[in-house]
Structures are given as structure tokens and as C-alpha cells.
Amino acid sequence: MDPQSPFEWLSVAKQHEASARLLAESRVAAAQAYSHAGFAVERALKAYIMWKGRLNGWPDRDSRPELYTHDLRKLVGIAGIQLSTIDPIGPRLW
């Protein structure tokens, strides 16, 4: 079941962040650390989308299928976040 509030999404994001940090510190499971970091970002974006859209609950897949993606570029677009390409250390989107 998906989280039903921005707070719940952020709680899950923090859990993934903590996992990513532990795995990165161990230097044994770098790929898993990146995976958990990506999940943390995804959950944080979904929290923001929910907050910005003033959603009272997470929509079901039939009503908002675009929200059921793991593509961070798509979620950034749905969130209406403008990423700067001027920042030399910013994310690459190509």
C-alpha cells in the first residue's frame, strides 16, 4: 500500500536515505547504496507532488497513472520543478 500523506512519503524517503548512507559507508554495496538513494529521491518527490497538489490521499493507478513511475525526470516534471543546467555540479538530464 502506498503512503497516504506527504509525511508518510517523507518517512519512507528517510528510511531509504539511512539505508543508502549505511551501505555507502560500508563500501561493499555501492550499487545498493545508489539504489536506495534513488528510492529516497523518488519518495521525496512524491511527497512534494502530494503536498503541492493538496492531495488528501495517494491517487489510485487508474485515476493518475503518471504518478506510478520510477522515472525521476518524469516526477520532477510532474512536480513542476525547474532544474538549472547552469549549475556545473547539478544533475545531468540527458
> 49-85 pLDDT, tens per residue?
999 999 999 999 999 999 999 999 999 999 999 877 6
The position carrying cell 522515472 is 71
Contacts of 70 (CB under 8 A, 6+ apart): 38, 42
Taking all residues of the chain, what is their mean pLDDT, rounded to a whole number?
A: 89
Output the pTM of the full model.
0.84
Distances (CA, A) of 27 to 2, 31, 39, 40, 54: 31, 10, 19, 19, 40
Q: Give the count of beta carbons closer than 10 Å to the beta carbon of residue 13.
A: 20
Domain spans of the chain, in order of start: 6-79
The residue-averaged pLDDT of 7-32 equals: 91
